[in-house]
Amino acid sequence: MTDPILLQARGVTKSFGGVNVLKGIDLDVLQGQVVSLIGASGSGKTTFLRCVNLLEEHDGGEILLDGEPIGYRDQGGRRVRLSEARVSAQRARIGMVFQQFNLFPHLTASGNVTLGLTKVLGKSKAEAQEIAEHWLDRVGLSAHSARHPYELSGGQQQRVAIARAVAMQPRLLLFDEVTSALDPELVAEVLTVMRSLAESGMTMLLVSHEMLFVREVSDHVLFLEQGRVAVEGPPSQVFDQPENERLRSFLGRFHGLFGASSA
């Protein structure tokens, strides 16, 4: 691979009130790659994702985006938290889509998308509006740009949330179980949007329980277990010939979708 490393995590640790949730995560995401984290709940995948965007702060190790440490800098061997302004600037380069959509309810669909464009990237209202229309169209919602979130279905809300994140032209997009809160019949429309983003070369790091989708779009899959990376590799290897006992039993829970279940 000649693609540069976009995101690099080295020995990332995190504990909540004495419970070690992350026990040293190493991970590389190359530019243009789709990398997925799978694992049982409590394995630390969502926590890791939140650390990348500084919604949680890792206790140890480092996370580098384009080689630049996220959230902290090293000052003579001591970790010093970056200023609020620096942290915000780093966050602006990383987009995030949430399980619960988290659209701003007081703004329209297009208002949700333009807020960051005007207030963070400093674009003019007209330009932001144009970009918002473009992305809302890309996610199939151009007819709904003036609607408020409460007027939209869950799948539509999530697509607005994706438009909001991707319109910022982030270096990296994070997806945190974005289909878990959706009714089954609405999952496909969101996955379609994600697939098209992946095909357009967007670098994506996702946490998902949609195993078929993960297998289809991922370049690299990591199976997390109790705060560690237990297995990693290309999807064919992780899904089709899992050697790890825990991974086999984890995959076996997905209705016999994989060869693993027959083992």
Partner 1 sequence: MSGLGATLLSSALSIVMATVLGVLLGVALTYGWIGLRLAARLYVDVLRGIPLLVLILFTYYGLALFGVNVSAFWAGVIALGGFATAHVAENFRGAVSSIPSGQMEAAKSIGLPFVNRLRYVVLPQAFRRMLPPWVNTALEIVKGTTLLSIIGVVELLLASQQAMARNYMIIDFYLFTGLVYVAINFTLSRIGARLERRFTFARS
For the sheet containing 19-30, what is the strand order?
19-30, 5-16, 60-65, 68-69
Interface region with partner 1, contact rule CB under 8 A, candidates 25-33, 157-165, 198-206, 233-241: 157-165
Nearer to partner 1, 159 or 215 (CB): 159
Question: For partner 1, which residue of 4, 11, 66, 88 counts as binding (CB under 8 A)?
Answer: 88
Site string for partner 1, 119-138 (x = CB under 8 A): xx------------------
Interaction between residue 102 and partner 1 (CB under 8 A): yes
The answer to whether residues 87 and 124 touch, using CB atoms and an 8 Å cutoff, is no
Interaction between residue 16 and partner 1 (CB under 8 A): no
Question: For partner 1, which residue of 7, 29, 37, 94 counts as binding (CB under 8 A)?
Answer: 94
Interface region with partner 1, contact rule CB under 8 A, candidates 3-11, 25-33, 144-152, 213-221: 144-152
Interaction site with partner 1 (CB under 8 A): 53-55, 84-85, 88-96, 98, 100, 102-106, 115-116, 119-120, 148-150, 161, 164-165, 168
